[in-house]
Structure 1
């Protein structure tokens, strides 16, 4: 199957099984997403919303829909998945790109001064597509925008007749249809990029997201920070898990719940996920290197996955 690689949203994207026309469509779509939803672009619509200082903001259909989805998962997870932590990210040094955070890693960590998330961080007016952010919050769509937009593109391509394909958005995978031999997925080792931690062969469409505290890091030894903010403390998460990969029916769900499991840690998080989302599977890695496999992982895997027969190969890399 055809593979196509391009850069967008500070990430390497890959598509599999798309025609040249659909490949161009993918590049155009993610460029549009970045221009509209990036926190790092002063000219983006998201940045304009964050400058609204509590005033009503009339949003485009794209921004309104993306914000509505993020807000829905904020409420569904009791605030554990939290898109309203933009100020905490800035206070931790992640005010621009990751490269900028690394260059300015000497800046003091002011995250302790960031207030917690208000009970109602945003008011959404569906009829007018209006958004009113609480003055104390800043919206960061981050990973959910990447995963959600990949899922949206996958849906558009399917409606256009693409029956089997894959979009890899920097490790967030949207897979639809099943190639002969199934989908082969390699999950990287968070402690050694050149090694595979696990290998799966999937027999069905799925969304796969990997969240890690090992990739996007900056700061000196002893004061290192990363990009996953725990909304309970408004500081980079202190968790006993280094990496979590979640398999779910949709990519957006996988993205949201991979982060939640990572934040909660091994003992609490795995039981929490299995109770709330019994149809999801996961592969988690502890900071001590211990690997946990659980949930409904077997429901996604091909019974012949250990026979060596396979089709298209893709990789779930940590984000």
Structure 2
């Protein structure tokens, strides 16, 4: 009997050791784009449960930091008074103001008024009225906001100032989602959040994930890179732009003008975390092709790929 049990146990162990991990993809609309969790597991229901928990972590960030949700913590911030924020919001604000300083304001978390104005211009195909643009610019500027990480308080120092964390929140969410998946036992996971990818361990039998970097070519990526345990974000005007009065404007706002960029530039940032790569891809487009690489590398990127279209 004991021999039979030992043989059965040996057989079960052999089956377990050779169980094949399958690829599962779970998708969900979030933060005005589409999020996807790609992971490898022997069991779909266990993988789905972990993915649901990962999406819940991202949805929490969206509820806190979205400027599309009137009751979000971000939208309820008053001006002229230091306000204590929640722990998750505090982490996001710490990263945001760090990158504002690291990029010399090319990444600016205080452009909420300008963002809303530019969204309307892209919708209507008309530039903002000069007075409206001037008022929105006056209400912006990261140096006029005071973030105190020790006290977890934010002071918006300009009347009407609003935050916009759209340039970092998706990467921040992707970072937290991967952490959830790894904790649940799924290190072989890729999180896609719009143009941001957070990559964990590579797929079974592979040494890396293959990532296509698509910037100006609608048909195929200009470059394919192999990456693992890092993040990559790409920003440009391939899909998001507006043509107004014969001029092409990007969705990326230049803090210096309050309008979308008019120089065609696309930047891919490879970095240790998606929070870093997401913050630096848009900022690098604002900085411009001559200085983007140097600034981004100093701010935490490991590789910067800059392309321009003439």
1:91·1:109 contact (CA, 8 Å) conserved in 2? no
Give 1:114-129 correspondences, 5 Å limit: 114-115=137-138, 117-118=140-141, 120-129=143-152
C-alpha separation in 2, matches of 1:11 and 1:131: 28
Match of residue 71 from structure 2: 43
Deviates more, 1:181-190 or 1:127-136: 127-136
SS in structure 2 at match of 1:232:
coil
Q: What's the counterpart of residue 158 of structure 1?
A: 182
**Aligned pair count?**
276
Q: 1:29 maps to what in 2?
A: 57
Return the alpha-carbon distance in structure 2 between the equivalents of residues 124 and 277 of structure 1: 19
Where structure 1 has 5 or more consecutive residues not aligned to the other structure, the ranges are 96-100, 289-319
For 1:262 and 1:84, the matched residues in 2 are separated by: 18
The TM-score normalised by the length of structure 2 is 0.80
SS at match of 1:228: coil
Q: Deviations over 1:58-113 (max 9, x none)?
A: 22222222112101111122222111111222232x26xxxxx5443336354344
> Which SS does the other structure have where 2:270 is aligned?
strand
Normalized per residue, which structure has more helix?
A: 2
- Cα offset for 1:252? 1.3
CA distance in structure 2 between the partners assigned to 1:245 and 1:63 by the alignment: 26
Q: Determine which of 82, 93, 96 is the counterpart of 1:56.
A: 82
Aligned with 1:132 (options 121, 138, 155): 155
Partner of 2:193: 169
Structure 2, gaps ≥5 residues long: 1-22, 41-46
CA distance in 1, matches of 2:127, 2:244: 11
Deviation at 1:13, TM superposition (A): 1.0
TM-score, length-scaled by structure 1: 0.78
User: Would you say the 8 A contact 1:115–1:234 is kept in 2?
Assistant: no
- Give 3-state SS (helix, strand or coil) of 1:131's partner: strand
Spell out the pairing of 1:227-246 with structure 2 (5 A cutoff). 227-241=251-265, 243-246=266-269
Partner residue of 1:195 out of 209, 220, 223: 220
Question: Distance between the aligned counterparts of 1:107 and 1:118, measured in 2?
Answer: 21
Deviation at 1:226, TM superposition (A): 3.1
**CA contact under 8 A between 1:83 and 1:141: conserved in structure 2?**
yes
Structure 2: how far apart are the matches of 1:174 and 1:277? 18
The CA RMSD over aligned residues, in Å, is 2.4
Contact 1:14 1:169 in 2 (8 A): yes
| Alpha-carbon distance, 1:198 to partner | 1.6
Number of the residue aligned with 2:285? 262
1:83 aligns with 109
Q: Output the CA distance in 1 between the equivalents of 2:246 and 2:281.
A: 26
Q: Output the CA distance in 1 between the equivalents of 2:177 and 2:188.
A: 13
**Secondary structure, in 3 states, of the residue corresponding to 2:50?**
helix
* Partner of residue 68 from structure 1, selected from 94, 99, 104: 94
